[in-house]
Amino acid sequence: SQTIHQWPATLVQPVGSPLSLECTVEGTSNPNLYWYRQAAGRGLQLLFYSVGIGQISSEVPQNLSASRPQDRQFILSSKKLLLSDSGFYLCAWSVGGVSNIQYFGAGTRLSVL
């Protein structure tokens, strides 16, 4: 069966520090991968998605970037965090190709102080 791992679960970082959040999927090949952000009390906003290694599409301009160095690994990064980067970050995967059901990781709560 497929599983998705996301870490760390919680992170507190000072303004201006770098960020690296990691997401890996097991039990499937060539998944579509997604990074979402959820602000407090709000819905999810898609940040990045990837349909293959090295292929990243950005949905909103921001201080963050994403990379996919391996088929089932998706990384969310920042060189210098801003206060506005605080939030709950969720990684998700779906079957590669034109698919529809997304499965989510447990999320990372990021607090930038």
Position among 11, 13, 28, 46 found at the interface with other proteins (CB under 8 A): 46
Q: Which residue is listed with tokens 């998700």?
A: 92
CA–CA distances in Å: residue 92 to residues 15, 31, 34, 58: 26, 10, 5, 15
The single residue among 51, 53, 58, 67 that binds other proteins, judged by CB under 8 A, is: 51
Q: Does residue 89 belong to the site contacting other proteins (CB under 8 A)? A: no
Are 30 and 52 in contact by the 8 Å Cβ rule? The answer is yes
* Least distance (Å) between residue 16 CB and other proteins: 27
Closest to other proteins by CB, 14 vs 41, is: 41
Q: Which residues on neighbouring strands pair with residue 13, listed in sequence order?
A: 112
The whole-angstrom distance between residue 60's C-alpha and the CA centroid of its chain comes to 13
Is residue 59 a contact residue for other proteins (CB under 8 A)? yes
Q: In angstroms, how far is CA 98 from the centroid of its own chain?
A: 20
Binding interface with other proteins (CB under 8 A): 32, 34, 42-46, 49, 51, 57, 59, 88, 90, 92, 94, 98-104, 106-107, 109
